[in-house]
Structure 1
Amino acid sequence: MSDAIFNLDAEVRTDMGKGASRRLRREEKVPAILYGAGKEPLALTLDHNKVIQAQEFEAFYSHVLTLNIGGETVEALVKDMQRHPYKPKVTHLDFQRVDASVKVTVQVPLHFINEDKAPAIKTDGGHAEHHINEVEVSCLPGNLPEFIEVDLLNVAKGETVHLSDLTLPAGVALTELAKGEDHDLAVVTIKAAKGASADAAEGEEEATEE
């Protein structure tokens, strides 16, 4: 993946309001706002084509980006993205400044691996039912993972992987687990294929009648 995805040129925007934003979009620019780290919010514009290219990568949403603003570089996270309701256009971006010494909370995607190799699925007829596909983590910006892997290789049929079962990188914590044991959410369950339970029950009933 090119580092250019995580480096975006931005310009300070002085003309504000809905009319100005519409003009910017006609010029293939994306209005944006940069806030956080105890500094005043800064209105920006970015090249729409560069944003469209970057947002196609999953890591764009959970990676610390570098904004190049008038010769100054600012590290930031994407906190919100607004899109046109039916056109392939980004209409607004919210960036949050990051401080290397201050923890951030970010939604990070889950990558489910070995699903096609897990015996519970490959040979035992089970299937993976995904309950969640991303988790909120808290960590220093330098420890922020692009994704967290969920290994299904040794998960048996009928078993459920919970948040507490996930292997996290050093320095990374799940914000949901910090709320208490009752927040240990289910992540994925290996369930029997549909119809299997009914077939088994029917078989038992026939054996009883005999």
Structure 2
Amino acid sequence: MADEIRISAEIRTEFGKGASRRVRRAERVPAVMYEKGNEPVHLTLPGHALAMALRHENALITLDIDGKDQLVLPWQVQRDIITGFVEHVDFYMVKKGEKVVVDIPVYTTGEAGPETFVTIEAQTISVEAEATHIPESVEVPIDGMEPGTQVLAQELKLPAGVTYQGEPEDLIVNITQEASAEQVEAELEAAEEEAGIEREPSDDEAQDENSEEE
């Protein structure tokens, strides 16, 4: 389940690019907290604490705002494209017992059978869960699975109270036969031919052509 993290937040009263730059120079991050039916609340949060919290998938955060606690979940996170630093966060308010829909990552565990290729068709899945009981991920055991095996959404082992928000027949993991070197080479040549790419012959191929001419 997602960890509950506490961060002290301050109400933000200055706006605009200049104000945002001053907030970031103070190693804080501007943020907005949304609640359905109410006006958004503008905040600033300590940058390091927030960055650490956002390392967790669907981090459940308790914001201490002027001595009052408010549970929130990250909604949208803006990062600097070069440094990766958090520049702005949108949160939405949640309550204990309230159900929310979030995306969680899918991972496989174990090793499939020999000469297989494993494809995770759904890197994330959408689930509904209580805000305080969001699973960090879902694991799909694939130990010994043979080519042709498929894992569908209806086969996922989700915690109690967590429901998948899709079709039962959705393909999650696909186990196929590993392609041979010859198959890979043939597919590459076909793709190059279709794209009109003329490949230079290798030394061995050139030598074979010269031998045939002689």
Residue 175 of structure 2 is aligned to residue 190 of structure 1: yes
Check whether the contact 2:31–2:88 (CA below 8 A) recurs between aligned residues.
yes
Residue 10 of structure 2 is aligned to residue 14 of structure 1: no
> Among 165, 175, 187, which residue is 1:175 paired with?
165
Note the residue ranges of structure 2 that are not aligned, 5 or more in a row. Answer: 185-214
Greater helix share, structure number? 1
Check whether the contact 1:37–1:99 (CA below 8 A) recurs between aligned residues.
no
Deviation track 1:124-155 (CA, whole Å, cap 9, x = no partner) reads 21121121221111122233212111111253
Secondary structure at the counterpart of residue 52 of structure 1: helix
Residue 102 of structure 2 is aligned to residue 103 of structure 1: no
Identity of aligned residues (%): 32
How far residue 198 of structure 1 moved from its aligned partner, in angstroms, is 4.4
Map residues 1-210 of structure 1 onto 2, 5 A cutoff.
Answer: 6-55=5-54, 57=55, 60-114=56-110, 116=111, 118=112, 120=113, 124-177=114-167, 184-195=169-180, 198=183
Query: Which ranges of 4 or more aligned residues in structure 1 deviate by more than 4 Å?
Result: 196-199
Secondary structure at the counterpart of residue 74 of structure 1: strand
How far residue 61 of structure 1 moved from its aligned partner, in angstroms, is 3.0
| TM-score normalised over the length of structure 2 | 0.77
Secondary structure at the counterpart of residue 154 of structure 2: helix
Note the residue ranges of structure 1 that are not aligned, 5 or more in a row. Answer: 200-210
Deviation track 1:84-142 (CA, whole Å, cap 9, x = no partner) reads 1212311100111112243101111122111x3x3x1xxx2112112122111112223
Structure 1 stretch displaced more, 189-198 or 5-14: 189-198
* C-alpha distance in 2 between matches for 1:197 and 1:161: 28
| TM-score normalised over the length of structure 1 | 0.78
Distance change (3 Å), C-alpha of 1:142 and 1:25: closer
Aligned residues: 182
Check whether the contact 2:78–2:89 (CA below 8 A) recurs between aligned residues.
yes
Secondary structure at the counterpart of residue 20 of structure 2: helix
Secondary structure at the counterpart of residue 128 of structure 2: strand
